[in-house]
Chain A
Amino acid sequence: MKILVPFKRVADPGSYVDQGAVEERKWIINPFDEIAVEEAIRIKERGEAQELVGATIGSEGAEEQVRTAMAMGLDRAIRVDDSRYLDAYAVSRILEGVVRLEKPDLVLMGKQAVDSDANQTGQMLAGRLSWPQATFVSKIEFVSGFTIARCTRETDSGLEVITVDLPAVVTTDLRLNEPRYVSLPSLMKARRRPFEVLTVEQIGVDVQSRSTVLKSSPTPRRAAGVRLETVEQLVACLRNNDKVL
């Protein structure tokens, strides 16, 4: 089985300091994609996959994340050189191009990026490919001689189990696994391993984003309220002031 793991480079949410100066922004692999990388590696470690290919879209800076993903255990990686702002629409079309090149049996990726919070790309990709999809997956196993993936999904009403015929797109949820950390020796080894850099033209895709961000502003913060001493005070406030009890 060949697994393609697309991943996105995002700013480390821990480095969002809203007061005072932020020195250098730290970048990481989107946590949900990191979970996908980890799962792909575990699948290979079990002997169920033979080749793991990572893919990211971005400028040279993204190579830091490529090396991290390879150091975790991917066999190969592709950086699609494109530094434009890309919405899920455009990303899904570029990934479609990568899928047509690489012909994986499974695309395993994070359910959402923690910066855009869109939760669209995997589903759009599946639609474009006409492949089945399993989203927000917290458990995945292969049955019927690795032709079918049996997935447990986390939904608003609890856990749901479905099967999808391969090839399919699966998006990962939080509780699928806990990714391994990357050790210094593996990072140093990964540095010596080459990866491909492709342009969108080489992938055969010509696409623009279909959404434009006109402006962004911090959402108004709630004002800090009152410290109370006793539960009686609290009940009185809620009853009399806010009338919510």
Chain B
Amino acid sequence: MDFSWSKEQKELLDAVHRFAARELAYDAIQADRAGQFSHDAWKKCGVFGIQGLPVPPEYGGLGCDPLMTAGVLERLGYSCKDNGLIFAINAHLWTVVMPLITTGTDSQKRKYLPGLSSGAIVGANAMSEPNFGSDAFNLATTAQRDGAHYLLNGSKTFVTNAPVADLFAVYATVDKSKGPHGVTGFLVEKNTPGLVIGRKIEKMGMRTAQMAEVFLEDCPVPVENRLGQEGGGSLVFSRSMTWERGCILASAVGAMQRILETCIRYAKTRKQSGQSIGKFQHVAGKIVDMKLRLETSRQLLYHSAWLRSQGKAGFLEAAMVKLHISDCWIKTCEDAIQVHGGYGYMVDYEMERELRDALGSRLYSGTSEIQKNLIASLLGL
């Protein structure tokens, strides 16, 4: 079993750090405070190749397999402190780009993938609704066929990237009586009449990622913009969900590495009672725990990615990745604050922001409770 990256893979991975150190080293404290989306950082990531990682080269991407994709995202998480930017990229990649790759028609791919890959176009996913979060497939937004169009009506919430998006993947039902089997996916361009972006939603963390409600009021979507078949919405969703669950926390592994290194440095240099605090067992113990969490997360991440690179479905593993890494990330951030003592609570030391950013990870892409239910059912319980 060879656990190492090849020379070629390493060269690409090393390039990520150099890129991020140069272009994404802006003041993360200030960015978090301002809570603005950085179009500049987004575009730079696009030019660098992030948004095109899994996209086939014929549509303008890099055609990377899940392993390489996870590796690049891990490095990005390590080298870029703006978790909000990375979250925005992840939302774009897994909820718009990936469904297009797996389910889009050739003309849809030709029309949208190049721009999505280069960062010229921002994608957003309108799935959750005020009354339907985890219970997504009972959604209430409707799509009524009207000649060459569907008319969409309803409201969506928690739409990441909505205020800055150019293309929306919107899920609506063509027949409420069919329950999940009526759910259908649609690609809706910004500025389509009847597509209304609501007020910005302020979040606890990842504040540079923008989020808003989206209202659909007789919004006309051409038939050729339907994603997949009528009633095939849950299929679109589940095809890309394994990628999403498997990769969305790859950057968290990088963040945990960075946080671990920061804590080790701090524990070595901060002195109390005449010695470095790293010599105190309780402090050292926390750092050891961080290391363990980092390594178990890393192993799970890459094993899941490897399975998918081998063409295996890997549902169970992806759910475990999402569940485990979110828990590890949050706990590591809590421990990091504690290691820093009073300074951990201070904005300037950046640990408090890491925790605020991490806390969302048990909620998006399926809450931890949903992941557990899924794993339980896959275990046959």
Contacts and interface: CB of A to CB of B under 8 A. Distances in A.
Contacts of A185: 49, 52, 62
A184 to B, nearest CB: 3
A191 B8 CA distance: 9
A183 B48 contact: yes
A184 B18 contact: no
Interface string A177-208: 00001111101100100000000000000000
Given A19-B268, A191-B8, A182 B15 contact: yes
Contacts of A26: 14
B312 interface: no
A7 to B, nearest CB: 15
A184 B22 contact: no
- Report whether over half of chain B's contact residues are helix, strand or loop; otherwise say mixed: helix
Contact of B11 (A19, A67, A183): A67
B48 A181 contact: yes
Contacts of B22: 181
A184 B62 contact: yes
A115 interface: no
A113 B14 CA distance: 21
Among B11, B50, B53, find the residue whose CB has the most chain A CB atoms closer than 10 A. B11
A181 B72 contact: no
Given A19-B268, A67-B11, A181-B48, A188 B62 contact: yes
Contact of A187 (B12, B47, B53, B268): B12
Contacts of B14: 26, 64
Interface in A132-190: 181-185, 187-188
A225 to B, nearest CB: 14
Contacts of B62: 184-185, 188
A181 B19 contact: yes
Contacts of B18: 28, 181-182
B89 to A, nearest CB: 14
Given A19-B268, A181-B48, A188 B19 contact: no
Interface string B59-93: 00010000000001000000000000000000000
Sorting the interface of chain B by its residue count into under 10, 10 to 19, 20 to 34 or 35 or more gives 20 to 34
A28 B22 CA distance: 14
A188 B48 contact: no
A65 to B, nearest CB: 10
A183 B61 CA distance: 12
A184 B268 contact: no
A64 B9 CA distance: 11
B202 interface: no
Contacts of B7: 64
Interface string B6-36: 0110011011101100110000000000000
Contacts of A67: 11
Interface in A77-130: none
Among B12, B18, B52, B268, find the residue whose CB has the most chain A CB atoms closer than 10 A. B18
A183 to B, nearest CB: 5
A181 B44 CA distance: 10
Contacts of B16: 184
Contact of A188 (B12, B23, B47, B50): B12
A9 to B, nearest CB: 13
A21 to B, nearest CB: 12
A82 B58 CA distance: 40
B19 A187 contact: no
Nearest to A67: B11
B274 to A, nearest CB: 14
A67 B11 CA distance: 9
A184 B72 contact: yes
A184 B23 contact: no
Contact of A183 (B8, B47, B268): B47
Contacts of B49: 183-185
Contacts of B8: 191
Interface of A: 19, 26, 28, 64, 67-68, 181-185, 187-188, 191
Top-7 shortest CB links A-B: A184-B49, A181-B19, A183-B48, A181-B22, A185-B49, A183-B49, A182-B15
17 contacts: A28-B18, A64-B11, A68-B15, A181-B18, A181-B48, A182-B18, A182-B19, A183-B48, A183-B49, A184-B12, A184-B15, A184-B16, A184-B72, A185-B52, A187-B11, A187-B15, A188-B62
Interface of B: 7-8, 11-12, 14-16, 18-19, 22-23, 47-50, 52-53, 62, 72, 268
Given A182-B15, A185-B49, A187-B11, 5 more contacts: A182-B18, A183-B19, A183-B49, A184-B16, A184-B72
